[in-house]
Chain A
């Protein structure tokens, strides 16, 4: 008998251990991620959230059946799903199939009117809506336009204009093309903005110049400085653009490195004016809380942006390897990614693109393309934001509620639900969610309506109460007080 109990105990403990390890294996998944997913709340506090995107494999030159990439600098996903990689130091463009499993073709040269021509450090690559391939052939100082198969079409080079300063060196590093086949080029050391070329290749001017901000304090110091000191001070020149993308309306999203960390991306309309929307915290510059010393201090250095669907865009920080995703209104949706050597982290991230719901990031140092797949959390947010973009706030409620099940404190979700309830006329519920979403403006609207509701419902009661009070007062003054005074009089 005694032996039996010992045996059962043993068996039970083994079983318990097995169950424990199994359940650990089940829950440990999220902790295996090499980076945190987080966001900033209303008070700009750092808040960890569930993972929005998880690493989903990586692609190297060898894995797609060609030699390894050497410092590739740009990626482009064409409308037909093919992926173009600017393999900069190998002087070639590699075209991958849509699943990124094999190489479709390698373009390392072209037939330039009967002469064999090659690239010299192609930095940027872009495929236009009409299907042509544009290559920013940086060291050859030209943009090469090819058919997707690699047949030569034309060359854009040597821009001529009065506005260009003398000895201007045209070193194109990023190129993008809009629906009208206008070519937008970021050239190294062109601080005046993005160079725009018409479809026939003529230079039309600069676009989206970033204005230099000089504070009053800096002005004051410049005034009292001597000429010699002034020449030693740094020049106040605008920052260069770092990456571009075209959205569905033909507006250009362009990133730059902002030393204040406030605005790292611009949405440029056809006149070159910035029309980006900023959220509650007036910040589209990446990280809000930043360290002041050490390797990872300072504002984010945004190096590329990709326009996604429904007003959502993601941008890539090369300093801390993070990917920031914003909606059309400038609200941060989720932040993830990091610097490191594990799969899913980067050393020198340079370009970001999307394939459907999947984010791909190009790492120049290792020459790899990292793939990230949306988790349930990430795709729910994407869908809900998309529904709101389309104006289907009611439909979005269910999806936001699912988001809340995963991440209870998601302010965007609370806000979305609150606004939808407000339009549906359920003011009290709306108030609850809007307060959780820290939306003072809409909370106030909901409260005002709710207050009116209460007042109209209870108006009869309130008016009766007032009448009764007046009556009691009257009776008291007329009879009881009189009686008292007459009693006092009687006593005297």
Chain B
């Protein structure tokens, strides 16, 4: 546990932000990354997202505060995170990717850092802008999202040792895999429900007759 959260690991996460290519290479080959840190970063991102939605200034914020539920958003983000990692892992396994599930999770988690920083910065900046200066706010948020996505892309590319084209193709296939996983899960839940219903009706029938 201590090793997972060591100062070294946290420092390395920030090194990855400034040197994505080298950073991810060492994560794959020299065990410099930490899944625990990645998960904490994803949770932090979810919180920053909720905070931004609820307390960004009235001028840039059209969200009904009653619609924001940080816990649901956290669960949704974590589920998406898990789904993406599993989807990407199942695709890259078939496409000669070198990355392990662990590396994919780290690539995704570390990519959250620019978003966490920019969402919180945006929330603060939004308190100072007026209506014709909202471009600043949107620029900060936009840069955060763009750099985050760029980091995830580079991360996937490095840990699997892919070319850019192949990375883009696998990411596209990852989304299809995610849909298939959701479809199968829904199918499975429905099946379980039906089986449960079947046994429940047998039980009821027995109770009534006895």
Given contacts A440-B131, A441-B131, contact A447 B64 (CB under 8 A): no
**A-chain residues with CB within 8 Å of residue B131 when the two chains form the complex:** 440-441, 444-445
| A43–B130 touching, CB < 8 Å | no
Q: Shortest Cβ distance from B79 into chain A, in angstroms?
A: 28
Interface residues on chain A, number (Cβ under 8 Å):
10
Whether a CB of chain B sits under 8 angstroms from the CB of A435 is: yes
Q: Is A443 an interface residue (CB 8 A)?
A: yes
B contact residues, range: under 10
Question: Scoring A residues 430 to 464 as 1 if CB is less than 8 Å from chain B, else 0, what string do you get?
Answer: 00000100001101110110010000000000000
Q: Tell whether, in the assembled complex, residue B58 and residue A440 are in contact, meaning their CB atoms are under 8 Å apart.
A: yes
Please name the residue on chain B nearest to A441 by beta carbon: B131
A451 and B128: CB pair below 8 A?
Answer: yes
Contact partners of B64 in chain A: CB under 8 A? 43
Chain B residues contacting A448 (CB-CB under 8 Å) are: 130
| Cβ–Cβ contact A440 & B128, under 8 A | no
* Interface residue? B146 (CB, 8 A): no
Question: CB distance B58 to A443 under 8 Å?
Answer: yes
B156 to A: closest C-beta gap in Å: 39
List 15 extra interface pairs beyond A440-B59, A448-B130, CB under 8 A: A43-B64, A435-B58, A440-B58, A443-B58, A443-B59, A444-B59, A444-B130, A444-B131, A444-B132, A445-B130, A445-B131, A447-B59, A447-B130, A451-B128, A451-B130
Chain B residues 11 to 46 lying within 8 A of chain A, measured CB to CB, are none
A-contacting residues of B (Cβ < 8 Å)? 58-59, 64, 128, 130-132
- 19 intermolecular pairs with C-beta atoms under 8 Å apart: A43-B64, A435-B58, A440-B58, A440-B59, A440-B131, A441-B131, A443-B58, A443-B59, A444-B59, A444-B130, A444-B131, A444-B132, A445-B130, A445-B131, A447-B59, A447-B130, A448-B130, A451-B128, A451-B130
Task: Please report A residues at the B interface, Cβ cutoff 8 Å.
Answer: 43, 435, 440-441, 443-445, 447-448, 451
Give bound CA distance, A444 to B206, whole Å.
69
Question: B128: shortest Cβ distance to chain A, in Å?
Answer: 7
B134's nearest neighbour on chain A, judged by CB, is A444
- Which A residues are in CB contact (< 8 Å) with B128? 451
How many Å lie between the Cα of A43 and that of B132 in the bound state?
23
Tell me the interface secondary structure of chain B in the complex. Answer: loop
Which residues of B have CB within 8 Å of A43? 64
Residue of A nearest to B60 (CB): A440
Contact partners of A451 in chain B: CB under 8 A = 128, 130
List 9 A-B pairs, minimum CB-CB distance, nearest first: A444-B131, A448-B130, A444-B130, A435-B58, A444-B59, A447-B130, A43-B64, A443-B58, A440-B59
Question: In the bound complex, what is the Cα–Cα distance between A448 and B64 (angstroms)?
Answer: 24
Closest CB-CB distance, A40 to chain B, in whole Å?
A: 14
Which residues of A sit under 8 angstroms from B59, Cβ to Cβ? 440, 443-444, 447
In angstroms, Cα B59 to Cα A447, docked, is 10
Task: Give CA–CA (A448, B130) in the complex, Å.
Answer: 6
B63 to chain A, nearest CB (A): 10
A446 to chain B, nearest CB (A): 9
Q: List the B residue with the shortest CB-CB distance to A439.
A: B58
Shortest A51–chain B CB gap in Å is: 26
| B-chain residues with CB within 8 Å of residue A435 when the two chains form the complex | 58
Separation of A447 and B130 alpha carbons in the complex (Å): 7
A43 and B58 CA atoms in complex are apart in Å by 14
Complex-state Cα separation, A448 to B128, whole angstroms? 9
Q: How far is the CB of B160 from chain A (nearest CB, A)?
A: 44
Q: Which residue of B lies closest to A45 (CB)?
A: B64
Report the minimal beta-carbon distance from A412 to chain B, rounded to whole angstroms: 18
In the bound complex, what is the Cα–Cα distance between A444 and B130 (angstroms)? 5
- Which residues of chain A have C-beta atoms less than 8 A from B58's C-beta? 435, 440, 443
Inside 8 A of B132's CB, which chain A residues have their CB?
A: 444
A444-B137 Cα distance, complex, nearest whole Å: 14
Query: B53 to nearest A CB, angstroms?
Result: 15
Closest to A43 in B: B64
Chain A positions within 8 Å of B130 at CB level: 444-445, 447-448, 451
CA distance A263 to B130 in the complex (A): 33
CA distance A440 to B132 in the complex (A): 11
Most chain B CB within a 10 A radius of its CB, from A43, A443, A447: A447
CB nearest neighbor in B for A435: B58
Q: How far is the CA of A448 from the CA of B132 in the complex (A)?
A: 10
Q: In whole angstroms, how far apart are the Cα atoms of A276 and B64 in the complex? A: 30
Docked CA distance A440–B59 (Å): 6
Specify the chain B residue showing the minimal Cβ separation from A438. Answer: B58
| C-alpha gap A48/B131 in the complex (Å) | 31
A444 to B132, CA, bound (A): 9
State A43–B63 Cα separation when bound (angstroms).
10
CB distance from B6 to the nearest CB of A (A): 29
Nearest chain A residue, comparing its CB with the CB of B67: A43
> Which A residue sits closest to B61, measured CB to CB?
A440
The chain B residue sitting closest to A444, CB to CB, is: B131
Kindly state the separation between the CA atoms of A451 and B59 in the bound complex, as whole angstroms: 14
Q: Inside 8 A of A443's CB, which chain B residues have their CB?
A: 58-59
Least CB distance, B54 to chain A, in whole angstroms: 15
Bound together, the chains give a CA A444 to CA B58 distance in angstroms of: 9
Contacts of A444 in B (CB 8 A): 59, 130-132
Assembled-state Cα–Cα distance A445/B130 (Å) = 7
Task: Output the least CB separation between A44 and chain B (Å).
Answer: 11
A448 to B57, CA, bound (A): 13
Cα A333 to Cα B92 in complex, Å, equals: 60
Inter-chain CA distance A440–B60, complex, in Å, is: 9
Chain B's nearest CB lies how many Å from the CB of A220?
Answer: 29
Query: How far is it, in angstroms, between the C-alpha of A84 and the C-alpha of B129 when the chains are bound?
Result: 58
Q: How many Å lie between the Cα of A454 and that of B2 in the bound state?
A: 48
Report which residue of B64, B131, B132 has the largest number of chain A beta carbons within 10 angstroms of its beta carbon.
B131
Distance A64 CA – B73 CA, assembled complex (angstroms): 65
Task: Report Cα–Cα, A74/B128, bound state, in Å.
Answer: 57
- B67 CB to closest chain A CB (Å) equals 9
